């Protein structure tokens, strides 16, 4: 089983602060996806990173895929209460067809 470790597990910050969450593995992934899940809902895709070293921006969110395709980070600039949610990374690696999820980072942005 290919594991994805996410850190921190919990993060509580004030509106306007910046933050970074991490997704790490000892395995190589062909691509990594980032999802956000709100209470009572299923996860929703934010972005997919495919190329080692790739950086993608989605408004105030910046996603980076490590050069070796074993890790990824999500940076949020000037966090807002609407960013509150569970952030999950997920990937498919090797020759299997399982989509593996990390345990997630639960972010709370206080007004």
Partner 1 sequence: EAQVTQNPRYLITVTGKKLTVTCSQNMNHEYMSWYRQDPGLGLRQIYYSMNVEVTDKGDVPEGYKVSRKEKRNFPLILESPSPNQTSLYFCASSFAPNTEAFFGQGTRLTVV
Q: HSE on the CB side for 104, CA within 13 Å?
A: 13
For the bound state, the minimum distance from the C-beta of residue 45 to partner 1, rounded and expressed in Å, comes to 5
Task: Say which residues have a Cβ less than 8 Å from residue 82's Cβ, sequence separation at least 6.
Answer: 109
The nearer residue to partner 1, 40 or 111, going by C-beta atoms, is 40
Q: Which two tokens stand for residue 67?
A: 């050069």
DSSP string for residues in 60-105: TEEEEE-TTSSEEEEEESS--GGG-EEEEEEEE-TT----EE---E
Residue 27 vs 31, nearer CB to partner 1:
31
C-beta of 85 vs 104, nearer to partner 1: 104
Whole-number minimum distance, CB 88 to partner 1, in Å? 7
Euclidean distance between the first and final Cα of the chain, in Å?
40
Chain positions contacting partner 1, by CB under 8 A: 1, 30-31, 33, 35, 40-45, 48, 88, 90-92, 97-104
**Distance of closest approach, residue 32 Cβ to partner 1, in angstroms:** 9
Q: Which is nearer to partner 1, 50 or 55 (CB)?
A: 50
Question: What is the nearest approach in angstroms of partner 1 to the Cβ of residue 86?
Answer: 9
């Amino acid at each position: 089983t290919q594991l994805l470790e996410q850190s921190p597990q919990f993060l509580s910050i004030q509106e306007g602060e910046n933050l970074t969450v991490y997704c790490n593995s000892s395995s190589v992934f062909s691509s990594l996806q980032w999802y956000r899940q709100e209470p009572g809902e299923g996860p929703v895709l934010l972005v997919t990173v495919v190329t080692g070293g790739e950086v993608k921006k989605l408004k105030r969110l910046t996603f980076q895929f490590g050069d070796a395709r074993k890790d990824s980070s999500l940076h949020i600039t000037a966090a807002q209460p609407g960013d509150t949610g569970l952030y999950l990374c997920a990937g498919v690696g090797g020759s299997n067809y399982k989509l593996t999820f990390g345990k997630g980072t639960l972010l709370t942005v206080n007004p």
